[in-house]
Amino acid sequence: MQFGIFSVGDVTTDPTTGRTPTEGERIKAVMTIAEKVEEVGLDVFATGEHHNPPFIPSSPTTMLGHIAARTERIILSTATTLITTNDPVKIAEDYAMLQHLADGRVDLVMGRGNTGPVYPWFGKDIRDGIPLAVENYHLLHRLWREDIVDWQGKHRTPLQRFTSTPRPLDGVPPFVWHGSIRSPEIAEQAAYYGDGFFANNIFWPKEHYQKLIGLYRRRFEHYGHGSADQAIVGLGGQVFLRKNSQDAVKEFRPYFDNAPVYGHGPSLEEFTRETPLTVGSPQEAIDRTLAFRDYFGDYQRQLFLVDHAGLPLKTVLEQLDILGEEVVPVLRKEFEAARPAHVPDAPTHAARVEAARRAAENRPAEEDGARDTERDDRSGQSARTTEDPR
């Protein structure tokens, strides 16, 4: 089980002081937070991708490359990589480059984002959101797995004998999670390729995510990647922690009430009751997070949102200390004890390289590189063989 932090990178006024950090201060704060993630023993740091104020992570690979140089162990990921408005050729090359720089400590979450105007900003039509996600990822999947690609689609110019560079590290592409908060088509896409599915798990009741994750698990099994409970699932979550609940609620309330996303809406009490947000003691966070397994089954990655809504850097670092010292060690132990032996661990580059090596050794030479030509009515694309490394 992997535990970590995901950041949306908002620049928000602290409602208790009235001070708004500069963009430069917020960028530097994210660097400090990522280093703290490694220091306290967590496993993953993930950043969002936004191209509009009040957010600063417009270039995730630049940010993660800098973090890679300042860390040694943590996995560097995205909370969303915009598969709809980014050119898949550029994604293929940028993240392969990052993979080399970080010695394989890279994966990414593909998503469509939550800002409608980003489509025309990058020359796309929001009405093509799902078709863009399907077509662009199919091309990206091929670019990472085929040395020479001939390709023609609807949404970009054709490619003729194109090779993206650099090639993926050790011949194994970064692991991909497909993220969605509302689209069954994306859960289907994740299952089709045997990739991971990441549920944001912040804004909606558990029943909403149970439907998406349940669909993904069933279709993962349908496509022959393993049993439904072996599907690779990641979850978001949101916490604000203090030694006792009363202090946590009192301190966090002004930030919640003025947060850009959910401020001036439901009360803090309503939101914590209806969504996974936990504002309270470390034990409450442990109990709430352990319950995710009851709702969604065994899963591989848990990311928490802790640095938003104007919370000062000092407070965020204190939250990470609490997670690293009091919460995550207990969660690791409890989740590991409950996980059946046949449920896979969270994906890592080293493990996937080893799986690819074993698959190559067991595959007859004449089948090397062969692909299943079966087509599916949702994706309309060729399925990968079950021996391909995820």
Q: Would you call 382 exposed, middle or buried from its count of C-beta atoms within 10 A (0-12, 13-18, 19+)?
A: middle
Q: Which CATH number fits domain 2-351: 3.40.640.10, 3.20.20.140, 2.60.120.10, 3.20.20.30?
A: 3.20.20.30
Specify the pLDDT at position 364.
Answer: 59
Please provide the DSSP assignment of 85-147 as one string: TS-HHHHHHHHHHHHHHTTT-BEEEEE--S-TTHHHHTT--GGGHHHHHHHHHHHHHHHHH-S
Specify the pLDDT at position 115.
Answer: 72
What is the pLDDT averaged over residues 282-303?
97
Specify the pLDDT at position 229.
Answer: 98
pLDDT band for position 370 (50/70/90)? very low
Specify the pLDDT at position 362.
Answer: 86
pLDDT of residue 376 exceeding 60: no
pLDDT band for position 325 (50/70/90)? very high
pLDDT of residue 151 exceeding 50: yes
pLDDT band for position 119 (50/70/90)? confident
